């Protein structure tokens, strides 16, 4: 496990070095898997690794943020609440909201504009309104089972979640999100 942690640290620092050269403002990563750990131990290990990454980034004067992406399977560390908690512990971490992953991980959670609103309200409540100003998101429609995400689907295939409901919410609140399409 220590060897994998060292590899993760190396990879994230190298990504930050590349991000600095490219002028990128965020590096998106999946926080990991539970691997027979309790969620509490997974959080401790994740925080420990990320503290080391942040320390090395500061030493090298690398300025991008680290973006913890919500994961699409319940077996993976990185639920919305876990990523919000990471951001509360380490301000250098920003939650990256993958709506398809949240939808799949939580067995079809997003069915309405209000469901999107609840996700954004949770972020705002826990991290403040400032967190919504630079929110980095991923979006696609998704096929999932009880084990979570199976595969991404093309937009408009009439699967879920429905982007139009999110678009209405963005327009209504004049949000300035970055949204990356992960549609095949």
Does the pTM exceed 0.85? yes
Share of the chain above pLDDT 90, in %: 80
Residue from 40, 45, 49, 43 nearest 12 by CA: 49
pLDDT in tens, 88-122: 999 999 999 999 999 999 999 999 999 999 999 99
- Mean pLDDT, the chain, whole residue set: 93
How high is the pLDDT of residue 145?
84
pLDDT in tens, 29-81: 998 888 888 999 999 999 999 999 999 999 999 999 999 999 999 989 999 99
Determine if the peptide bond prior to 171 is cis (ω within 30°).
no
Residue 134 pLDDT grade (very low, low, confident, very high; cuts 50, 70, 90): confident
> CA of 25: how far to CAs of 80, 150, 160, in Å?
21, 29, 29
How high is the pLDDT of residue 34?
86
Within 8 A by CB and 6+ apart from 67, the residues are: 26, 27, 28, 29, 93, 94, 95, 96, 136
Residue from 115, 127, 38 nearest 81 by CA: 127
pLDDT > 80? residue 159: no
Distance CA 79, CA 68 (A): 10
**What is the residue whose two structure tokens read 């750990």?**
37
Average pLDDT (150-176) is: 89
Residue from 114, 99, 118, 117 nearest 159 by CA: 99
3-class SS at 19?
helix
Share of the chain above pLDDT 70, in %: 99
How high is the pLDDT of residue 90?
96
3-class SS at 97?
strand
How high is the pLDDT of residue 171?
95
């Amino acid at each position: 496990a220590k060897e994998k942690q060292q590899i993760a640290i190396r990879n994230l620092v190298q990504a930050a070095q590349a991000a600095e050269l490219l002028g990128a403002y965020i590096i998106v990563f999946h926080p990991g898997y539970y691997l027979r750990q309790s969620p509490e131990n997974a959080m401790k290990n994740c925080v420990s690794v990320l503290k080391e990454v942040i320390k090395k980034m500061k030493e090298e004067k690398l300025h991008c943020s680290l973006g913890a992406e919500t994961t699409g399977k319940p077996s993976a560390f990185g639920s919305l609440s876990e990523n919000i908690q990471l951001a509360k512990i380490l301000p250098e971490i920003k939650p990256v909201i993958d709506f398809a992953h949240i939808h799949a991980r939580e067995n079809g959670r997003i069915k309405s504009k209000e469901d999107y609103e609840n996700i954004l309200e949770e972020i705002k409540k826990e991290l403040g309104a400032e967190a919504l100003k630079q929110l980095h998101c991923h979006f696609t429609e998704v096929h999932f089972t009880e084990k979570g995400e199976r595969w991404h689907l093309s937009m408009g295939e009439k699967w879920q979640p429905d982007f139009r409901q999110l678009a209405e919410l963005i327009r209504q609140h004049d949000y300035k999100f970055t949204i990356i399409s992960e549609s095949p």
